[in-house]
Amino acid sequence: EQQVVALKAAHPGVMLVVEVGYKFRFFGEDAQVAAAELGIYAYPDHNFLTASFPVQRLPIHVRRLVAAGHKVGVVRQVESAALKAASDNRSAPFTRQLTGLFTAATLDAAEKADKLGEASAMEASQELEVVLGQGSSSSAAGTNYMLVIAEQQQQQQQQQQHSADDGKAGSGVLGVLAVDVGSGDIAYG
């Protein structure tokens, strides 16, 4: 219970899902919200209201909570039972830390990064021009973007045989990712 209170104090505004054995659990207000959003049962356990689900359902429930507008933090046990048994603090609770923080931007970025280099990424590059070229009326003139450009060269035997002065460029794949650091909005191409 003290771990949960300390973790909530360290990460305000984040819905924490805590690994406890072979389950993930929500505590307090997070349990109440999770029960309503996920359709799981919340019940009192010691001093907290709690709701839980099996470990293998984590990706599904995180996506559902993020889609509902929540920022979700995953807290995992960072020591195994075997290490705990061999250590001096075998009677203390497992050490837990925030190992992942998920928002709409981070989940969206992971899906879009998987598509870089595909034909559909060309369509997305047009979206990038719109996002970067035409700011919305709510965005400030000083909007800051973090821009990442990744290039993958495709080596061909023909390219190696050409002389340096023939002027032909090599082929490759170029990926571009822009993140608005203020809002977390992502554009890619």
Q: What are 73's strand-pairing partners?
A: 16, 101
Quickly state the pLDDT bin for 14 (edges 50, 70, 90).
very high
Is 0.75 topped by the overall pTM? no
Query: Rounded distance, CA 63 to CA 59, Å?
Result: 6
| Residue 69 · residue 103 · CB < 8 Å | no
Q: Is the pLDDT of residue 168 over 60?
A: no
Q: Helix 104-115 vs helix 120-133: angle between axes, to the nearest 10 degrees?
A: 130
pLDDT surpassing 70 at residue 131: no
Unique residue bearing structure tokens 């807290």: 75
Q: Which is nearest to 133 in space by CA: 116, 149, 150, 145?
A: 145
Q: In what order do the strands lie in the sheet with 186-188?
A: 145-153, 172-180, 186-188
pLDDT digits (tens, 9 = 90+) for 39-93: 999 999 888 899 999 998 998 899 899 989 999 999 988 776 676 677 776 767 7
Partners of 72 in the β-ladder: 15, 102
pLDDT given at position 36: 95
Please state which of the ranges 22-36, 76-90, 154-168 shows the lowest mean pLDDT.
Answer: 154-168
Q: Could you read off the pLDDT of 139-158 as tens digits, one per residue?
A: 444 566 778 888 876 655 44
